[in-house]
Chains A and B, each alone.
Chain A
Amino acid sequence: MNCYSLSLRHTMTKHLNLVFFLAVWCFSPLVSFAQSPIEIAQKIDELLVSETIVSQTNICDDETFLRRAFFDIVGQPPSLEDVLVYGLEPSVNKRSLLIEFLLTDKTYGANWSRYWRDVIMFRRTNDQSLLGVAALESYLTDALNNGVGWDRIAVDFITAKGDIREDGRAVFIAAQQGRPEETVSEISRIFLGIQIQCAQCHDHPTDRWKQEQFHELVAFFPRVALRPQQEPRSFVVTATDFVGRRRTANANNRFVGTLEHTMPNLAEPTQPGQVMTPKFFVSGQTLPAGTSDAVRRDSLARWITSPDNPWFAKAVTNRVWAELVGEGFYEPVDDIGPDRTPSAPKTMDYLATEFTLSGYDLKWLMQTIMSTQAYQRSSLDRRNYDQIPFQANTIQPLRSDQLFDSMMSVFEISDAGSEGAGQGPRRPQSPRNVFADVFGYDPNDPRGDVTVSIPQSLAMMNSTFINEQIQARQGTMLSRLLQEVQSDRAAVQELYLRVFSRRPNRKELNTSLAYIIQVANRGESFEDLLWALLNSAEFKTRR
């Protein structure tokens, strides 16, 4: 081990100082939740064992847990200092302390805002909404960091009005150009986990929803419109309560609302369709024709987020569980009801109920799930369908932002200051956005379906940006490391710690040292080693 040289050097711990945290904790009371996450977590494990016959209780080691928790909460790996300090910390409940501490870090909000941004924006049908992405991220980051409840966030999106560059809440509707059919489909998919849009043209083939029920849901949204605005160019979510302009399919880029929604007559498309009144298919609650836009959307938002509607808590609980444990109770995560069977129904229901009682507190949900043994098990590749679920935490490909931040962290550089770039479809792209063009994937899709692409490996292997950063010349992380650590063995160990948050095993160490001897040029061989580590599967996954 080579810890000594490390403290001599200034390492750029970007946001965390675990030393500080562990010291302060000794004198400060824990944040207390209404329902203790640790007790709930124990019950979840008991239920899960009874439902899925978990055969192993192989809990992962501390190094793995640290890296996993960092990626899952703050979206980036621990720094070298974090790894060393956490390894030396003797406290028996250091995992709980770590989770609590990371949830208070502002990067938590940034990380999960990017997740929800992708949940919404990967399904956009309107690229103009990209103008509002920065505002959307900023709204979500603040809401998540401030512990705003998931119900409040849902209400904000459903009832939003305003300029998408100023108010990120309006971007949800703008992503579908304010079109009522697409907007309510997304509300149902994201907040209820129900894919009711299949009933748009015909009765749902495998679920119980009828075409009429879909159009009754659409009837909450006909008055919404998206208006373009010049100087500065933007789009504004508005509502038309008085002027019912006809919607025309072929208007140049424009989309305006109507007073009431009409279900098209599919048998006789030339005939006028049936005017629909708003009715929420889950609860059967209705509103009369003529109701104002504000009342329609407020009512829908209230009914969707009501504790009486079980789908609201289940949808988000299932999603967060899937992100953290690696597999949802339901897969895909946005198709959970009503006629789907979860892999552990009692566990799912219990967690969703407790989440509702917490006041839809997302930090509580994270802390609870991460306190379970189900979360803390060693990781395995995704199971086959015929294997029992939740025997292990499932290895996941990093999301684009996580991978980007990992590289930044390894290279000890920052993209701060370039976030403003690339907010519009035709603006210069920030490095993060360029990276996302190649590495981004839709987090709604089952993670097992996410495949890697040739342009991704070309970028990792050959891009100028990465190849400049891995050089051993002056000014890079590698040059500092080689300068300060004279022993090759110690330098290999430190490089592994920096890139993978773990030490190399004996074989890896021997292969690396043999390579260094073979190349007979210290700088060159370490460049190649760093290149190989960054291009390995391990660097691109969270396990």
Chain B
Amino acid sequence: MTTHQINRRSWLQTSATALTSVAAWKSPIIANAAAMRTNAKACILLWMGGGPSQFETFSPKPDHANGGETTVTSTAVSGIQISSQLPATAAAMKDLCLIRSVHGPEGSHPRASYVSHTGYLPTASVKHPTIGAHVVQHIGDQESELPSFVHIGRSRGVFSAGLLGVEYDPFILNSANQMPANTELSTSRDRYVRRLGLLENLEDDGSTEGSRQFVKANRNLYGKASRLVLSPQMKTFDITQERSDVRSSYGDGNFAAGCLMARRLVEAGVTFIEVASSNWDTHFDNASRTDTLCQEVDKPYAQLLADLKQRGLLDTTLVIWMGEFGRTPRINSRAGRDHYPRAFNVALAGAGVQGGQVIGATDASGNNITDQPVSVNDLLTTIYDALGIDSFHENISRIGRPIQIVEDGEIIDGVF
């Protein structure tokens, strides 16, 4: 462990800036409010890597040239319309809180992805922890035999626990259709256990006075790793154990398998799961490519919400649908849309989020936010709040700087 709860008083004594004193004043109130309301236990982040087009998903503009050919569909909530490319999601609208007015500070993929996951611009001096790392540090089950933070799918950037240390790094599944790397025993179970015993005995024989720390850390680690691979819970990662009708209800493809795996993991007590969908970077042929991507995502997304609800898990699980930015209102000469961080969409569900509503709006052209702008940091603050985590909590960087989980974020009005 490399972080420490900051002693706020000593920090304030050395540097009483307005910002930190506000933080110190506000923090307990917000933390208590969150703790009273939420009993959230888990979070699933559905990451739309590349930046999904808001016009072809949650903010269609059929009456404006910028809207292109995309048509709209009514949803389960009267008055709310979304793109007709998302029929299953439209039917699940009662559980969804759409935010149509998110704006971010960055237009390049890696930088915007970093901001969306950490709340900070990338710097060389501090590696900021990703959402999942903060979440498992605060509400993860330390006794769990399964890793608390699982990332499913190859995406462009997998962000780390940074200054929180590798203990909170994601456990990566390249695909939900395969068992995680290096967890299948290379020998019989008996021989594996026998080998572990030999390792332990030889380390006892060989360790000298001066090398106990490393031997102890190694033993601790091998204990955890071998408990994982020998755990009966490892079968959670085996998606073929799921009934075939349940598998087909999620649809086909890696993202569908990822959503089903996420539900299996939540059921098994895993705290944070990120499921990555990629290829939303539609600089050309935006409409047709987004259509394909929507087909990959629509059914699994809606089924995940329905399945969690049916199992009584949606009240305690926050489900986030987001990408790093949106796409330009103007359609470019290659029938594509480029990067647009000034107005994009995020959808939240579960964990006390009021479904069946839309927050924020853009004008008819989609260029400008006209109602309730939501910064990425507001969004992150709201996510942490839904999970009962104090976003003013400070971790200490390697060189002793206090780093708040999120700076300058406000809880979005009306989400809860």
Asked whether B214 lies within 8 Å of A395 as measured between CB atoms, the reply is: yes
**Is B244 interfacial (CB 8 A cutoff)?**
no
Task: Name which residue of chain B comes closest to A446, CB basis.
Answer: B398
A249 adjacent to B213 (CB under 8 Å): no
Q: Are A535 and B222 in contact (CB under 8 A)?
A: yes
Say if the beta carbon of B157 comes within 8 Å of chain A: yes
CB distance from A255 to the nearest CB of B (A): 8
Assess the A536–B199 pair: CB atoms within 8 A: yes
B124 contacts which of A123, A380, A446, A467 (Cβ < 8 Å)?
A123
Contacts A249-B107, A528-B194 aside, 17 further interface pairs with beta carbons under 8 A come to A189-B125, A195-B399, A250-B341, A253-B107, A378-B210, A381-B210, A381-B213, A449-B165, A454-B224, A455-B172, A455-B182, A457-B221, A458-B225, A507-B205, A508-B205, A524-B191, A543-B211
Q: Which of A251, A397, A463, A511 contacts B202 (CB 8 A)?
A: A511
Which of the four size classes fits the interface of chain A? 35 or more
Given contacts A454-B224, A532-B199, A537-B217, contact A462 B185 (CB under 8 A): yes
* Contact (Cβ within 8 A) B198 A125: no
- Can you list 8 A-B pairs, Cβ within 8 angstroms, ordered by A? A185-B125, A198-B401, A205-B401, A454-B228, A457-B224, A461-B226, A462-B229, A511-B205
When chains A and B are docked, how far (Å) is the Cα of A456 from the Cα of B107? 35
Contact residues, B162-188 vs A (CB, 8 A): 165-167, 169, 171-172, 181-187
Taking CB atoms, residues of chain B closer than 8 Å to A308 are none
Q: How far is the CA of A457 from the CA of B215 in the complex (A)?
A: 13
- A175 CB to nearest B CB, Å: 8
Q: Is B123 an interface residue (CB 8 A)?
A: yes
Bound form: Cα–Cα A512–B201 in Å:
9
**Residue positions of B touching A, CB distance < 8 A:** 2, 14-15, 17, 105-111, 122-125, 127, 147, 157, 165-167, 169, 171-172, 181-187, 191, 194-195, 198-199, 201-203, 205-207, 209-215, 217-218, 221-222, 224-226, 228-229, 338-339, 341-342, 398-401
Residues of B within 8 A of A397 (CB): 214
A449→B395 CA distance, assembly (Å): 15
Complex: how many Å from CA A454 to CA B148?
Answer: 12
Contact of B210 with A379 in the complex, beta carbons under 8 Å: yes
Identify B399's interface contact among A335, A515, A537, A541, CB under 8 A. Answer: A335
Query: In the complex, what distance in Å separates the CA atom of A176 from the CA atom of B125?
Result: 11
Among residues of B, the one whose C-beta sits closest to the C-beta of A448 is B2
**Best-buried of A251, A462, A504 by chain B (most CB within 10 Å):** A462
Given the interface pairs A467-B186, A508-B202, the reply to whether A451 lies near B157 with Cβ below 8 Å is no
Residues of chain A contacted by B229 (CB below 8 angstroms) = 458, 461-462
The answer to whether residues A461 and B401 also contact, given A206-B14, A451-B167, A531-B195 and a CB cut-off of 8 A, is no
**What residues of chain B lie closer than 8 Å to A456, measured between beta carbons?**
221
- Contact among B107, B181, B212 with A381 in the assembled complex (CB-CB below 8 Å): B212
A453 at the interface (CB under 8 A from B): yes
**Which residues in A have their C-beta under 8 angstroms from that of B221?**
452-454, 456-457
Q: Assuming A454-B171, A461-B182, A462-B229, is B211 touching A538 (CB within 8 A)?
A: yes
Q: List, in ascending order, chain B residues with CB within 8 A of A524's CB.
A: 191
Chain B residues with CB below 8 A from A261, complex form: none
Interface status of A523 (Cβ within 8 A of chain B): no
For the complex, what is the distance from the CA of A541 to the CA of B401, rounded to whole Å? 30
Once the chains are docked, how many angstroms separate the CA of A446 from the CA of B397? 12
A499 to chain B, nearest CB (A): 11
**CB pair A537 B226 closer than 8 Å:** no
Tell me the minimal C-beta distance from B231 to chain A in angstroms: 12
Cβ A186 vs Cβ B124 within 8 A:
yes
Q: Does A68 contact B (CB under 8 A)?
A: no
Which residues of A pack against B, CB within 8 Å? 123-127, 176, 182, 185-186, 189, 195, 197-198, 202, 205-206, 249-253, 332, 335, 378-382, 392, 395, 397, 442, 445-446, 449, 451-459, 461-464, 467, 504-505, 507-508, 511-512, 515, 519, 524, 528-529, 531-533, 535-538, 540-541, 543
C-alpha spacing A446/B218, complex, angstroms: 19
Contact of B2 among A379, A380, A449, A457 (CB under 8 A): A449
How many angstroms between the C-alpha atoms of A205 and B195 in the bound complex?
A: 53
Contact of A123 among B125, B165, B205, B400 (CB under 8 A): B125
Among B15, B171, B182, B341, contact of A462 (Cβ-Cβ < 8 Å): B182
Tell whether A127 pairs with B398 under 8 Å between CB atoms, given A451-B167, A462-B182, A462-B186.
Answer: no
- Give complex CA distance A205, B224 in Å: 40
Q: Which of B17, B110, B127, B166 is the one whose CB lies under 8 Å from A453?
A: B166
Option from B125, B147, B182, B195 in Cβ contact (under 8 Å) with A459: B182
Q: What residues of B have a CB within 8 angstroms of the CB of A467 in the complex?
A: 186-187
Task: With CB as the reference atom, state the residue of chain B lying closest to A465.
Answer: B182
Q: Known contacts A125-B122, A511-B205, A528-B198; is A537 also within 8 Å of B215 by CB?
A: yes
Q: Tell me whether A536 and B107 are in contact (CB under 8 A).
A: no
Nearest CB to that of A183 among chain B residues? B124
Among A185, A198, A202, A452, residue most surrounded by chain B Cβ atoms (within 10 Å): A452
Q: Specify which chain B residues have a CB less than 8 angstroms from the CB of A462 in the assembled complex.
A: 182-186, 229
Q: Smallest CB-CB separation from A541: which chain B residue? A: B214
Chain A residues with CB under 8 Å of B183's CB are 458, 462
Closest to B180 in A: A458
Nearest Cβ in chain A — how far from B122, in angstroms? Answer: 4
User: Chain A residues with Cβ under 8 A from B222's Cβ?
Assistant: 457, 461, 535
Using known A-B contacts A125-B124, A252-B338, determine if residue A455 contacts B205 with beta carbons closer than 8 Å: no
Q: Given the complex, which residues of A lie within 8 Å of B182, measured CB to CB?
A: 455, 458-459, 461-463
B202 and A205 form a contact (CB under 8 A) = no
Closest 9 CB pairs of A and B: A250-B107, A507-B205, A380-B210, A537-B218, A123-B124, A458-B182, A381-B213, A125-B122, A467-B186
Measured CB to CB, the closest approach of chain B to A270, in angstroms, equals 15
The reply to whether B147 and A536 form a contact with Cβ atoms under 8 Å apart is no
Q: Which of B127, B181, B209 touches A455 (beta carbons < 8 Å)?
A: B181
Task: List chain B residues, Cβ under 8 A from A461.
Answer: 182, 186, 222, 225-226, 229
Residue from A335, A455, A528 in contact with B171 in the complex, judged by beta carbons closer than 8 Å: A455
Q: How far is the CA of A467 from the CA of B399 in the complex (A)?
A: 41
Contacts of A124 on B, CB cut-off 8 Å? 124
Q: Which residues of A contact B218 (CB under 8 A)?
A: 452, 536-537, 540
> With a CB–CB cut-off of 8 A, which chain A residues contact B181?
455, 458-459, 463
Q: How far is the CA of A245 from the CA of B185 in the complex (A)?
A: 58
Least Cβ distance of A244 to chain B in Å?
21
CA of A226 to CA of B163, assembled, Å: 28
Q: Does the CB pair A195–B210 fall under 8 Å?
A: no
Which chain B residues border A206 with CB–CB below 8 Å? 14-15, 400
Please name the residue on chain A nearest to B122 by beta carbon.
Answer: A125
Complex interface: chain B residues within 8 A of A543 (CB): 211
Q: Are B147 and A454 in contact, with the CB atoms below 8 A?
A: yes
Q: Chain B contacts of A533 at CB under 8 A? A: 202
Bound-complex Cα distance A124 to B122 (A)? 9
Shortest CB-to-CB span from B356 to chain A, Å, is: 33
Chain A residues within an 8 Å CB radius of B191: 524, 528
User: Roughly how many angstroms separate A455 CA and B194 CA in the complex, as a whole number?
Assistant: 21
Interchain nearest-CB distance for B408 vs A (Å): 12
Task: Give Cα A189 to B184, complex, Å.
Answer: 43
Complex partner residue of B398 from A445, A451, A508, A537, CB under 8 angstroms: A445
Of the candidates B17, B147, B206, B222, the one having the most CB atoms from chain A within 10 angstroms of its own CB is B206
**Which single member of A197, A382, A453 contacts B213 (CB below 8 Å)?**
A382
Is the Cβ of A505 less than 8 Å from the Cβ of B125?
no
Contacts of B399 on A, CB cut-off 8 Å? 195, 198, 332, 335
A452 to B213, CA, bound (A): 12
CB A132 to nearest CB in B, in angstroms, measures 16
Residues of the B chain whose Cβ atoms lie less than 8 Å from the Cβ of A519 = 194
- Contact between B205 and A537, CB atoms less than 8 A apart: no
Nearest CB of chain B from residue A373's CB, rounded to whole Å: 17
- Most interface-central of B125, B195, B222 (chain A CB within 10 A): B125
Q: How far is the CA of A397 from the CA of B15 in the complex (A)?
A: 36
Minimum C-beta distance from A377 to chain B (A): 10
* Distance to closest chain A CB from B235 (angstroms): 17
Q: Do residues B167 and A252 form an inter-chain contact, with CB atoms below 8 A?
A: no
Residues of B within 8 A of A125 (CB): 111, 122-124
